[in-house]
Structure 1
Amino acid sequence: MSVVERCVILSDDERIGLSVLPAHLQKEQPKLERSESEAGQPQFKALKTRATEQEEKALIEEALAKTLGNKSAAAKLLGISRGTLYNKMRELRLEG
């Protein structure tokens, strides 16, 4: 049985959590700074709630660093579309 099949079988809902992963995979997960949303789901600091350009720029740079430059993943962490991320990067003169 594959790890994915095992996780699907052991999961109580549609989301697969760390608790159903084999122990050796649980230890290898990168630690991201996340906060819990009201629904109890982890979220990265949302870009939409930031007011200043400096804060937006810092959040974008942090998300890109955490995702090793993967813009799609960074946009997902920030709660925006990839197109919006590209527009923000261009607006804030971030290289990409």
Structure 2
Amino acid sequence: MRWRYAFSEAIGACSVPVILADGLELPLEGVINWSRAVLQIPEALAGHPKALLAALPNSDEEILAMRRRVCDINRMYFATTRRRLDAVLLALAGSRSRGIK
């Protein structure tokens, strides 16, 4: 599925989502910069455990920084129903300004 409930749960828990899917569009990409808050790992690594583990950060500081960014994203866009609605409206307004219907 394009966006599973588990992703929302991970964000709510301030956990860094690890996504093993090529070409997956993350929710509210037009509003949220996910690049430093999630780990997107190429599907090609799925059958290579050592390479998969090597793709994960091993620095406590880097992991903590990513978790902080996830917490910020959760607080700003997902923590309440109102914030979720506002984020969706922002995304819709952005897509309209880019000519996307």
What TM-score do you get using the length of structure 2 for normalisation? 0.26
Instruction: State the structure with bigger RCO (CA 8 A, min sep 6), 1 or 2.
Output: 2
Rg larger in structure: 1
